[in-house]
């Protein structure tokens, strides 16, 4: 669509990722020091501009950024919202397509070394409208968390129901009754037993190890 200099001007388009994990039983966001000259060095959302030559689509931009900035691939991400206007960046009209991603803390510990982590309830000052973007992401995850398997993306592939419950409690910020949780995730087929037992939990008694049942993402009943 871009042709001559008489052509219409388009806004700058970037992708920003709210990368979330659960660390110390709290929902935390991974931030990275900015690399562009503007506000260089300040902790901000992991992001970058769309590259129309390299990227096939917006998801491609997200994947490229995750690879470049953190050496990460195959991360669960979902589009959040697009923020666009002339005021959000002093350099001019811009559009940020925001995504959020969920990643087990074990994956972050073994790969991405360059991130800083902050509890989502206690953020440092962030540039542009990044604070608002984080807030939206947390709202979305907390909102959908009660009736979807999205928070389970913060777990390793194999997990115990105690671990799963802890993750849900951390994401939702509430206590969850043990038996209700068990009944539900088992009855609705959300998890599948591996028939093996292990000590992944924190207890003395070994617990059954589960995996997510493929394909189950939403459930009607609430937690």
Partner DNA sequence: TCAATAGTGTCTGTCAGACATTATTAC
Partner DNA sequence: GTAATAATGTCTGACAGACACTATTGA
Smaller CB separation from DNA, 111 or 178: 178
CA 169 to CA 27: how far, in whole Å? Answer: 10
C-alpha count within 13 angstroms, C-beta hemisphere, residue 147: 6
Count of beta carbons in the 10 Å neighbourhood of residue 71 = 11
Residues that bind DNA (CB under 7 A): 160-162, 176-180, 182-184, 197, 201-208, 221-223
> What does 205 bind: a second copy, DNA, none (CB cut-off 5 to 8 Å by kind)?
DNA
**Minimum CB–partner distance for residue 178 and a second copy (Å):** 22
77 binds a second copy per the rule CB under 8 A? no
Smaller CB separation from DNA, 116 or 180: 180
Structure tokens at 39: 């506000």
**Minimum CB–partner distance for residue 138 and DNA (Å):** 20
Integer angstrom CA distances of residue 53 from 49, 50, 57, 58, 83 = 12, 9, 10, 12, 23
Element (DSSP H or E) covering residue 166: helix 161-172
Smaller CB separation from a second copy, 12 or 105: 12
* Contacts of 45 by beta carbon, 8 Å cutoff, 6+ apart: 16, 17, 18, 31, 32, 98, 126, 130, 133, 134
Smaller CB separation from a second copy, 82 or 119: 82
Touching a second copy, residues 45-64 (CB under 8 A): 49-52, 55-58, 60
**Minimum CB–partner distance for residue 47 and DNA (Å):** 37
Smaller CB separation from DNA, 57 or 175: 175
180 binds a second copy per the rule CB under 8 A? no
């Amino acid at each position: 669509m871009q042709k001559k200099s008489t052509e219409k001007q388009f806004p700058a388009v970037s992708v920003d990722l709210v990368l979330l994990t659960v660390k110390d039983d709290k929902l935390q966001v991974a931030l990275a020091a900015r690399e562009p000259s503007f506000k260089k060095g300040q902790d901000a959302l992991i992001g970058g501009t769309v590259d129309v030559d390299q990227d096939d689509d917006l998801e491609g931009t997200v994947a490229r950024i995750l690879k470049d900035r953190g050496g990460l691939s195959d991360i669960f991400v979902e589009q959040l919202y697009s923020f666009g206007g002339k005021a959000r960046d002093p350099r001019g009209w811009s559009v940020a397509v925001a995504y959020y991603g969920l990643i087990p803390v074990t994956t972050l510990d073994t790969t991405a070394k360059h991130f800083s982590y902050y509890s989502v309830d206690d953020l440092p000052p962030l540039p542009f409208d990044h604070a608002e973007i984080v807030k939206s992401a947390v709202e979305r995850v907390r909102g959908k968390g009660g009736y979807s398997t999205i928070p389970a993306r913060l777990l390793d592939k194999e997990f115990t129901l105690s671990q799963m419950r802890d993750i849900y409690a951390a994401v939702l910020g509430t206590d969850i009754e043990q038996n209700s949780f068990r009944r539900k995730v088992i009855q609705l087929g959300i998890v599948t037993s591996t028939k093996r037992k292990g000590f992944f939990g924190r207890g003395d008694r070994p617990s059954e190890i589960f995996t997510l049942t493929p394909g189950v993402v939403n459930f009607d009943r609430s937690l």
